[in-house]
């Protein structure tokens, strides 16, 4: 039963998404930050437990990154609707994720282990910092929206991560005609 703990934590992240969105739309920003933090902790825990105890499953390999993306994109969509971030920024992040999903589909079934790298984690963490700052700015009624600069850094990091993943797969021969 313990070997399913990482997968249960991943499923919990999916369950938390609607709660986060409702809290954001109801302008309950502090509770939203708390639920986002809980979601982030389940993400850290599931990966740590899976690696430490070798509870890595095919389900987890597929669904864990999906939970991350559903959470991040859902929150960003809600923030775009509420005009916290510009729509063009959401479009770029969404297109990047489409490219990553298409790339993963292309590579599926090949002898390749696709796992997150530091540059992908950097982009995700930077977006979450920006999201928490946005919610904090609204909660505390701060007039200076410095969060937009963090979103710019996060956007640069997400584009950088896409380039780095392509470079890595190209160097391994998965995107070249050599194979």
Predicted confidence (pLDDT) per residue in 156-169, tens digit = 999 999 999 888 87
The CATH code of the domain that includes 43 is 1.20.120
Instruction: Please compute, for residue 174, the number of CA atoms within 13 A of its CA located in the half-sphere on the CB side.
Output: 18
The answer to whether residue 37 sits within a structural domain is: yes
Which candidate, 10, 13, 68, 70, places its Cα nearest to that of 39?
A: 13
Specify the pLDDT at position 53. Answer: 93
Tokens of 161: 């991560």
Specify the pLDDT at position 179. Answer: 47
Alpha helices in 26-86 (DSSP H): 29-52, 58-81
**SS3 label, residue 118:** helix
Q: Is the pLDDT of residue 170 over 90?
A: no
Specify the pLDDT at position 101. Answer: 80
Predicted confidence (pLDDT) per residue in 55-78, tens digit = 988 888 889 888 999 999 999 999
The answer to whether residue 178 sits within a structural domain is: no
More confident residue, 99 or 8: 8
The answer to whether residue 90 sits within a structural domain is: yes
Q: How many structural domains does the chain have?
A: 1
Q: Is the pLDDT of residue 132 over 90?
A: yes
Q: What is the pTM of this model?
A: 0.89
Segment 30-47 shows an average pLDDT of 95
The answer to whether residue 71 sits within a structural domain is: yes
Specify the pLDDT at position 14. Answer: 97
More confident residue, 47 or 103: 47
The answer to whether residue 48 sits within a structural domain is: yes
CA distance 24 to 108: 36
Average pLDDT of the chain to the nearest whole number: 89
CA distance 114 to 107: 9
Least confident range of 18-27, 39-48, 81-90, 114-123: 114-123
The answer to whether residue 78 sits within a structural domain is: yes
The answer to whether residue 176 sits within a structural domain is: no
Specify the pLDDT at position 177. Answer: 58
The answer to whether residue 177 sits within a structural domain is: no
Predicted confidence (pLDDT) per residue in 81-108, tens digit = 999 999 999 999 999 989 888 877 776 6
What is the extent of the structural domain holding 26?
Answer: 2-171
């Amino acid at each position: 039963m313990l070997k399913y703990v990482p997968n249960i934590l991943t499923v919990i992240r999916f369950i938390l998404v609607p709660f986060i969105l409702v809290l954001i739309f109801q302008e309950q920003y502090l509770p939203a930050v708390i639920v986002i933090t809980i979601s982030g902790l389940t993400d850290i825990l599931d990966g740590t437990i899976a690696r430490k105890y070798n509870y890595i499953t095919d389900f987890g390999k597929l669904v864990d990154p999906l939970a991350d993306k559903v959470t991040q994109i859902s929150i960003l969509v809600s923030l775009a609707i509420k005009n916290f971030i510009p729509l063009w920024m959401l479009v770029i992040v969404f297109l990047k994720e489409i490219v990553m999903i298409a790339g993963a589909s292309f590579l599926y079934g090949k002898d390749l282990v696709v796992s997150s790298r530091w540059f992908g984690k950097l982009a995700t963490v930077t977006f979450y910092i920006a999201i928490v700052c946005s919610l904090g700015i609204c909660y505390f009624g701060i007039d200076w929206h410095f969060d937009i600069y963090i979103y710019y850094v996060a956007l640069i990091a997400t584009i950088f991560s896409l380039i780095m993943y392509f470079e890595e797969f190209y160097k391994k021969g998965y995107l070249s005609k050599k194979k």
